[in-house]
A and B are shown apart, each in its own frame.
Chain A
Amino acid sequence: MTEFPPRVDPHFDIEEYDPEADLMALNMGPQHPSTHGVMRIKLFLDGETIVKAVPYPGYLHRGVEKLCEKLTYVQITPIFDKHDYVAPMTNEQAINLAFEKLLGLEVPLRARVLRTILAELQRIASHLLWLGTFTLDIGGTIGGGASMMMYTFREREMILDLFEALTGCRFHYNTHCPGGNRHDVPEGWETVVKAVLDAIEPRFDEYEALCDNDIFLVRTEGIGVLPPDLALELGQTGPVLRASGVDHDLRRDAPYHAYDLVDVRVAVDDGCDSLARYKVRVAEMRESVRLVRLLLPMLPQGPIVGSKPIKSLIQFKAAAGQVYVGMETPRGELGTYLIGGGDQRGAAPYRCKIRPPSLHAMAALPYLLPGHFLSDVVTVLGSLDPIMGEVDR
């Protein structure tokens, strides 16, 4: 059993701090290159050591939940692309899983397998973007991190090209609809996916070779230690929870899509620090490559939409009822809580509550930051990988 440092009190009154100390309040953000969007952290510093940290989200609030009450089931999917703009594909899938449960629609096997492939490709793309920006922020790799970002973005472009060939867009695809997918696989797509995976897989070794140096290790090892009990209390999910040594993954524990057809190996690390989160994400990318390779030959023939294709605004109607569906996005469990029957026609949800994994990752910041240096804020924030569009919605 490893010893963890004593838990800090995030509500600690700064007035009670040693009056002799060289105390300074510093606002990091709202516009800061390393904050993954528009967010503000108020830091109280004693010299260069953080005494207290208060995150202030809300600068990117766009009212997605309120919009969902106005729009109908058909119109909500393209809106959902925008709230986690690094992994739009999994966001669409999350809301459509909730719709399908509420409306009682069957998804054909071809669409389920295709969705699984897309989700895993999106996980690689999202983690690649995280790896590039994280190493750029902390600058520990050879070349100051900028070369690493160039490499990861090059591989991410390949995956975005795959999505472009399938859906016509590099981002904000709108390729899912309640009951299935809107775009079928174009001819020869599977071959291109295999070629891309073959090109990407050896690159992971290169990333690890670039990150395996003392500067990177010193800047990440032991920084932002999140003990498992605290991680569970704060509702962490995804790589952040698994890097704290808790073996929890919805893909294996509560399979959706076609995850019951494959055996998902969940990457867990006991390190609890920023280095462990880096290791878990790299291991997840390798696992995603393996899953896509397994699933590609399983893609069966058949229809891709279970219901009738979208042809009118009020096509899908549901009586009042409530569902909660959780889905493992690259950042963790994205839960959607829906109450049906909002519109008089029953074509819009009455309430849509989104449980974003990034918001819960943000909640760990007041616990993780005190005691570290100012320069470690970037490391801790980067390793939690919050996307502010998802935090504020």
Chain B
Amino acid sequence: MSSRVGLNWIWQSAKAMIVTGKHLFEPRTTEGLRPAESRAPRYRASFALVHNEHGEEACIGCKLCEKICPSDVITVVGGPKELSEATGKKRGTCTDFVLDLQACIICELCVQVCPVDAILMVREQEVPGYSREDLVLTMDKLYANEHDKALYWGSGSALMEMQNPKKEASS
């Protein structure tokens, strides 16, 4: 190891002080936590269950999301098939839907596989709670999220459309 003697430090310190001094005239380096509005449009944080265009609960209890979840955090209890008043067709129902957000890895696979666009992600994070149960999203909380929180852009069909766009009408 060579011993460094001399006056190098004057020039070296001056160079570093110039860099540091430049930051006096620049915006602040640190900034606070940004609100959800300033996030990117695709920002995804939490979940919501939605109603379809006929005002029915969109989930048909097909359990595709439960099967694909890599961390097994979704539990779906399917109900009996009921006659839909709006369309006059029989459709499946869902009696209970629980999503344990503690172990969720926000991978978006449940949104991607949903055939009826029933589960969406929301752009606002869940607030920290005082007990573990606060972070388990029950069916009521998921349907409340549909109105209380900002939904993000994607749904199962929107993701499909992006990954596999329909062929333009051949002109």
Given known contacts A79-B70, A150-B29, A150-B30, is B13 in contact with A213 (CB within 8 Å)?
A: yes
With a cutoff of 8 Å between Cβ atoms, the chain B residues found around residue A319 in the complex are none
Tell me if A116 is interfacial: C-beta within 8 Å of chain B. no
- Chain A 73-98: CB-based contact to B (< 8 A → 1; otherwise 0): 01111110110000000000000000
- Bound Cα distance from A78 to B112, whole angstroms: 13
Q: How far is B44's CA from A303's CA once the two chains are assembled, in angstroms?
A: 24
Q: Say yes or no: A182 contacts B112, CB within 8 Å.
A: yes
User: CA A142 – CA B162 in complex, angstroms?
Assistant: 48
**Do A166 and B113 touch across chains, with their CB atoms under 8 A apart?**
no
Q: Does B17 contact A (CB under 8 A)?
A: yes
Inter-chain CA distance A313–B65, complex, in Å, is 9
Residues B9 and A213 in contact, CB atoms below 8 Å apart: yes
- CB contact between B8 and one of A164, A214, A310 (< 8 Å): that residue: A214
Does A174 count as interface, using CB distance less than 8 angstroms?
A: yes
State whether A168 touches B108 (Cβ < 8 A): yes
Q: Which residue of A lies closest to B114 (CB)?
A: A311
User: Chain B: which residue is nearest A163 at the CB level?
Assistant: B40
Most chain A beta carbons < 10 A, residue from B1, B18, B154 = B1
Is A107 positioned at the interface, with any CB of B under 8 Å from its CB? no
User: Beta-carbon contacts of B1-33 to A below 8 Å, as 1s and 0s?
Assistant: 110100011001101111110100000011000
Q: Which residue from A76, A169, A206, A310 sits with its C-beta under 8 Å from B113?
A: A310
Residues of chain B within 8 A (CB-CB) of A180 are 163
Kindly identify, within residues 38 to 59 of chain B, every residue whose CB is under 8 Å from any CB belonging to chain A: 39-44
Contact in complex: B164, A218 (CB < 8 Å): no
Q: Tell me if A165 is interfacial: C-beta within 8 Å of chain B.
A: yes
Contacts of A183 in B (CB 8 A): 42, 162
Residues of chain A within 8 A of B144, CB atoms compared: none
Among candidates B16, B30, B112, B162, residue contacting A213 with C-beta atoms closer than 8 Å: B16
Q: Does B152 contact A (CB under 8 A)?
A: yes
| Given contact pairs A75-B109, A168-B42, A186-B42, A210 touches B16 in the complex (Cβ within 8 A) | yes
Is B106 on the interface with A (CB-CB < 8 A)? yes
Q: How far is the CA of A308 from the CA of B160 in the complex (A)?
A: 9
Q: Are A165 and B40 in contact, with the CB atoms below 8 A? A: yes
The answer to whether residues A209 and B18 also contact, given A75-B68, A75-B109 and a CB cut-off of 8 A, is yes
| B30: chain A residues within 8 A (beta carbon) | 150
- For A147, the closest partner residue in chain B by CB is B20
Given contacts A74-B109, A166-B42, A186-B41, are A142 and B13 in contact (CB under 8 A)? yes
Nearest A-chain residue to B69, judged by Cβ:
A75
A222 to B3 CA separation, bound complex (whole angstroms): 13
Instruction: From B1, B113, B162, give the contact of A184 (CB < 8 A).
Output: B162
Q: How far is the CB of B142 from chain A (nearest CB, A)?
A: 19
Partner of A141, one of B1, B9, B16: B16
CA distance in complex: A136, B128 (Å)? 31
Chain A residues with Cβ under 8 A from B107's Cβ? Answer: 77-78, 172, 174
Contact A312 B109 (CB under 8 A): no
Query: Given that A167-B42, A168-B40 are contacting pairs, would A213 and B12 also be in contact in the complex, using a CB cutoff of 8 Å?
Result: yes
Inter-chain CA distance A210–B13, complex, in Å, is 8
Give the contacts of A315-330 with B (CB-CB under 8 A): none
Chain A residues whose C-beta falls within 8 Å of the C-beta of B70 in the assembled complex: 71, 75-76, 78-79
Across the interface, do B4 and A154 meet the contact criterion of CB distance under 8 Å? Answer: no
The distance in angstroms between the C-alpha atoms of A78 and B1, with both chains bound, is 47
Tell which of B2, B8, B113 has the most Cβ of chain A within 10 Å: B113
Across-interface contacts of B43 in A (CB, < 8 A) = 164, 168-169
Interface residue B67 (Cβ < 8 Å from any Cβ of A): yes
| Cβ B15 vs Cβ A310 within 8 A | no
Question: Chain A nearest CB: distance from B161 CB in Å?
Answer: 10
Report if A212 contacts B (CB, 8 A).
yes
From B13, B109, B165, contact of A310 by CB (8 A): B109
As a 0/1 sequence over residues 195 to 206 of chain A, the CB contacts with chain B under 8 angstroms (1 = contact) are 000000000001
CB distance from B13 to the nearest CB of A (A): 7
Q: Does B150 contact A (CB under 8 A)?
A: no
Asked whether B159 is an interface residue with its Cβ less than 8 Å from the other chain, the reply is: yes
Interface residues of B in 71-94 (CB under 8 A from A): none
Q: How far is the CA of A68 from the CA of B20 in the complex (A)?
A: 48
B-facing mask of A300-311, CB < 8 A → 1, else 0? 000111001111
Other A-B pairs beyond A168-B44, A221-B2, A313-B67, 14, CB < 8 Å = A74-B68, A81-B105, A82-B105, A142-B13, A150-B29, A164-B39, A165-B41, A168-B121, A209-B15, A210-B16, A212-B15, A214-B4, A218-B1, A309-B163
Please list 5 pairs of residues, one from A and one from B, whose beta carbons are closer than 8 Å in the complex, sorted by A's number.
A77-B107, A154-B29, A164-B43, A174-B106, A182-B112
The 5 closest A-B pairs by CB, nearest first: A78-B107, A142-B16, A168-B42, A309-B163, A75-B70
Residue positions of B touching A, CB distance < 8 A: 1-2, 4, 8-9, 12-13, 15-20, 22, 29-30, 39-44, 64, 67-68, 70, 105-109, 112-113, 121, 152, 154, 159-160, 162-165
Q: Interface on A for B, CB 8 Å cutoff?
A: 71, 74-79, 81-82, 141-143, 147, 150-151, 154, 161, 164-169, 172, 174, 180, 182-184, 186, 206, 209-210, 212-214, 217-218, 221-222, 303-305, 308-313
